[in-house]
Every structure is written in C-alpha cells, then in structure tokens.
Amino acid sequence: MNINKYIDHTLLAATAQSEEIQKLCFEAKKFGFYAVCVNSSRVKVAKNELVETDVKIAATIGFPLGACFTEAKIAEAVKSVQDGADEIDMVINIGFLKDGKSAEVQREILYIKKAIENCVLKVIIETCYLSEKEIMKACELAMQAGADFIKTSTGFGSRGASYDDIKIMKKVVGEEIKIKASGGIKDAETAMKYINLGVHRIGTSSGIKIIS
C-alpha cells in the first residue's frame, strides 16, 4: 500500500510564511503525497510550486471556526479555485448544526459545491464538539448536499480525529462519500488503523514521519 497517496500534507498555522509553503510543496513532490492543504491566501504560492505535477492543492474555507457568512465562504471558495485549488476543505457552521438549523447547514454545503463545480468538496464537521447524533446528522447533510468527503477536524479544536468518530461516520456514509481523518495523526501505525477503518484521506503535518 502506498500510504503517501492517502496524505494531504498540511500547513495551516497562522504564522506560516511563503518559504514554509514552498518547502511544504517541495516535500509533497519529493515524497509523492496526494495533496497539500493550505489556507486560501496561500493557494497561489502552492500553485506556483506545483505546476505540472500530480500533487493536488486543497484550500481551507471558513477556517477554522466555520462561523462566518455563507456568502463569505462562497467567495473564498471561488477565489481559491481561481487561484489554482483542486479541492476545498470547508468548515460547517457548527453552531447552526447544534441549533438544529439543518436546512441552513445543508444549503451552505450545497451552495459551495455548486460554486466550485467539479472541484472536490470536503466538509469539516469538527467532531470534537459534536455528540454521536450530531456527527450522524452532519454526515447525512453533507451527503444530501453533494459533498465528496466528510472530514473529522480542523486540527484547531479541542482534539483531532478519533477511531470512534470514523466508525460513526462510516456507519452513516458507507461508500456514498469518502472520509478524511485529520488532527493528531502522527505515526504510521495510527494512519494505517484509520485507513483500515475506511478512511480515504489523512490530513497531517507529520506525513514525512508517517511514511518514514
């Protein structure tokens, strides 16, 4: 198994500078990672480094809180695609989900997916803040809205992914949409366990350590 092809090589720190994004891209090319994952303002830098390579670019949207206006998320997603992003990792409005505003949460996902057309949409639900019932509901809404992936975490919450999160998510989505686990995955043993549970992508800043 080529575990490197499961990895979104990630740098989302507020302090990340251009040179660090360039280094991230160099590493992604060198080690054959599937994608890099960067903040939306850094997509152009990544695109310049990854032109004519197979490495995809994922941009985070509404990150990390998910609490901004839908219109702002749409604009950020569209600009990211224009700048060269292949994939969009958006954060849902977690407070709306917990309020029971399912229609609003689903509509936002739907609008963003429509705006980015054929680009891949990953929906971050930040499982650390959700009950099992809320995780299941978020998965249902993402599927109904046409998302390509459901994703556990931003890495900025109170914890990252857990095996129990993935089991709950897998029970809901089955093979309908894919799952991305992120947050706290730092070694090969942990990564393999997630993959064996049915995860299709792993978001990590420890990709080199994992494949080494």
Known catalytic residues? 89, 151, 180
CA-to-CA separations, 145 to 10, 122, 138, 149, in angstroms, rounded: 26, 11, 11, 11
* Nearest residue to 209 (alpha-carbon basis) of 2, 4, 57, 19: 4
Instruction: Enter the DSSP assignment of 135.
Output: H
The angle, 0 to 180 degrees and rounded to 10, between the axes of the packed helices 132-144 and 163-173 is: 40
Residue 172: what residue type? V
The three-state secondary structure class of 173 is helix
